[in-house]
Every structure is written in C-alpha cells, then in structure tokens.
Amino acid sequence: MKCHIAKIQDVNEAVYPNRTMAYTAALILIEHLSMWFKNLTVYRFNKPFSVDPDSLEKSLEDFTFSPCSSQDISKFGFSKAMGKHGETLIHTAGDRHLICATKEEKILPSQVIKEALEEKVSQIEAEENRKLAKKEKDAMKDEITTTLLPRAFSRRSQIRALILPEIQMVLVDSSSAAKSEELMALLRKAIGTLPIIPMSFKTPIETQLTEWLKEGKTPAAFEMQDEAELKSDSDEGGIVRFKQQDLSEDEVLAHIEVGKQVHKLALHFGQSIAFLLQSDAAIKRLKFSEEFRAGNDDLGNDDPMARLDADFALMSSELIALINATVEALGGLEDSI
C-alpha cells in the first residue's frame, strides 16, 4: 500500500497544484485501489431477475448505514457504492450494479466482561453470604455490558457486491460465506425478495480439479499455477498442501493415486486474474495483474471519478468473463430447484 500512496503523491504533485484538489484526488484513487474485488462468493438467481436502478436506490435508502449509538453493539446498513466521494447507494454501468454495506461493531473483549462480572459476583456473595443463581449472574452480565458499551472502541468494515442480471448472478467480494449471507439477507430485506442460491455445478468441482491436475492440462482459458490442496474422502486420509511446487511432479500425483482429490487449485485466467478455486465454489485471493489494471491509464488522472467509473466497467467485464469461463470449464451449472 505504501508504494501505491507514493505513486498517488507523485501524480498529485504533477497534476494538482492546489493541495485541496490533490488531497481529494488521492482519496478517490485510494477508493479505486479498494474497489477491485479480492474474493468471490457467487450466487445465481433461480428465477428471472431484473434491476431498476432508481427503484433499488429507493429501497436501499430505508436501510442506510448509521453509526452505533452508545448502547448499540453493532450496526449494519448500505453505504455509498463508490465510497466517500460517490453520491448514490447503487452504482450502475449498463446492467451491472454495485452495492456496498458498512458494518460497525463495538469491541468489548469477553475477558473484560468476565473479570468485571466475577468481581461483582464475589462482592455481592460476600455481602449477602449466599451463592448467586445463574439468572442473577446473567442479569449482572447484561448490566455490565450496558455500562461498558459507551466506552468501547468500534471498528468498521465494508463488503461489496455486484448484481449482474445479464448473467443472472450476484458476486460478493468476501471470502466468508457468513458475511456474504449477511449482506444478501440485508438486500433481501430491502427489496422484499431475492431469489438466489449459491452457485453449484453438475459435476463436483473436486472431480474436475483432480482430473485437471492428473492430466496436467486445464481448459484453454486457464493456466495451472503452483499451489494445490488435496484431501481424502476418509477421515483418516488427511490433507496435503503444496505451495510453490511443480504440480506435475510424481510426489503430487502419488496422492491422487491413493484416492485424494483436489479441493483447492491455484489458476490464472488469461493474462488478467490469478485466483484460488475451491471445491465449495468459492473463488479466493483474486489478484488482477498490473498490466490489466493499467488498461485505463490512457484516461489519465485529471478526473479521478471518471477513472474510477472506467475501472469499475473494466473489472466487472473481466469478472463476468471469468465466471462464464469457469462455468463452462466445470461442465455447467447444476439445474436449479
């Protein structure tokens, strides 16, 4: 990140003589760096779905993020899709729609609550010469939590998603299934219905990945890298992981011969994206190549928001290409129920 900030400073000094303009441009470009998706949890619509941007914007407004009050443990809501310098909760380019949600959580260590509770319980038991019941302790714990909350620090995180009616899918930028489901639940609550299911395939992914590794050959759109995780179906078989190793070596293939299957495989899509494909259909550690990310460099940085918008179009197009190629390579999606 330090090198990115240094580049931003260089650009600002050359392009923006006014310090305020330079600072604003730097913030927008930092938003740009965080916009590129780093993981994918993929859902598909099991009923035809379309988006009217204006209607969706209005629906999301009722669930806009607001900071925690003194007694809130956490708050979760939609925020500006393009960050601090955006104007709307949904950013649309063609039939591609970006949304973002912000979560704020109070940091209240359980050990702090435990110690405060133990101290109070000991004091009351000594004064009243009796053991407190569990119900009384639970009430005290709630009271202590309420007392400590206003003084607790808080942390914020954001999660983004691409709604893609053109391929009838939703891509969530998260490696956590639980966090992805939380965002989808909020979106469902906002719009009333969201007919989605996790992406799944006709043939188990591990079967396909194992075949690729065994044959030393991937479909044309992909290139195998030097990382894999193999797992046995039996509890006794264990897991073996390879990193920075030639996966065509006998040492690797021997594990397939004894029944292990490939559950994680590092791949490269064309010249643009490196990633880790998992047997649960998660796509992790997305990394767009520097050459690909420089695809809009000819636009310059005079208008950072225009650059941000152009890069969003560039990223979303390539993610759609990646998903389509993955579905084809893995033998097609499982029929929806």
**Of 76 and 16, the one with more pLDDT:** 76
Beta-carbon contacts of residue 80 (< 8 Å; ≥ 6 apart): 86, 87, 88, 89, 100
Q: Assign residue 94 a region (left: φ > 0; alpha: ψ between -120 and 50; beta: otherwise).
A: left
% pLDDT > 70, the chain: 88
| The residue type at 161 | A
**Of 7 and 279, the one with more pLDDT:** 279
**Of 11 and 240, the one with more pLDDT:** 240
Per-residue pLDDT at 121 exceeds 60: yes
CB-count burial class (<10 Å; 0-12, 13-18, 19+) for 234? exposed
Tokens of 151: 């003084």
- The full DSSP string for 166-207 is TTTEEEE--S-HHHHHHHHHHHHHHHS---EEE--BSS-HHH
d(Cα 238, Cα 254) in Å, to the nearest integer?
A: 14
> Is residue 289 within 8 Å of residue 272, measured between CB atoms?
yes
Phi, psi of 217 (to 5 degrees): -145, 135
- pLDDT given for residue 307 in this prediction: 81
Confidence of residue 30 (pLDDT cuts 50, 70, 90): low
d(Cα 22, Cα 9) in Å, to the nearest integer?
A: 8
> Is residue 285 within 8 Å of residue 229, measured between CB atoms?
no
Per-residue pLDDT at 189 exceeds 90: yes
Confidence of residue 18 (pLDDT cuts 50, 70, 90): low
- pLDDT given for residue 21 in this prediction: 54
pLDDT tens profile 320-335: 999 999 999 999 999 8
> Is residue 245 within 8 Å of residue 252, measured between CB atoms?
yes
Q: Among 53-62, 166-175, 208-217, 227-236, which stretch is predicted with the lowest mean pLDDT?
A: 227-236
Per-residue pLDDT at 130 exceeds 70: yes
Quick one: CA dihedral 94, 163, 26, 66, positive or negative?
A: positive
Taking each helix axis from N to C end, the angle separating 205-215 and 250-257, rounded to the nearest 10 degrees, works out to 140
d(Cα 299, Cα 307) in Å, to the nearest integer?
A: 7
What mean pLDDT is predicted for residues 150-164?
93
- Beta-strand relationship, 283-288 and 273-278: antiparallel
Q: What is the average pLDDT value for the chain, to the nearest integer?
A: 88
Q: Distance between alpha carbon 209 and the CA centroid of its chain, in Å? A: 23
- pLDDT given for residue 108 in this prediction: 86
The Cα-based distances of 96 to 114, 141, 172, 336 in angstroms read: 48, 47, 13, 23
- pLDDT given for residue 309 in this prediction: 87
- pLDDT given for residue 335 in this prediction: 83
pLDDT tens profile 215-270: 999 999 999 999 999 999 876 668 999 999 999 999 999 999 989 999 999 999 99
Confidence of residue 85 (pLDDT cuts 50, 70, 90): confident
d(Cα 267, Cα 218) in Å, to the nearest integer?
A: 9
| The residue type at 309 | D
- pLDDT given for residue 1 in this prediction: 46
* 108-128 burial code (b ≥16 CB/10 A, e <16): beeeeeeebbeebbeeeeeee
- pLDDT given for residue 47 in this prediction: 93
**Half-sphere exposure at residue 267, Cβ-oriented, CA atoms within 13 angstroms:** 26
CB-count burial class (<10 Å; 0-12, 13-18, 19+) for 134? exposed
d(Cα 41, Cα 141) in Å, to the nearest integer?
A: 37
| The residue type at 153 | F
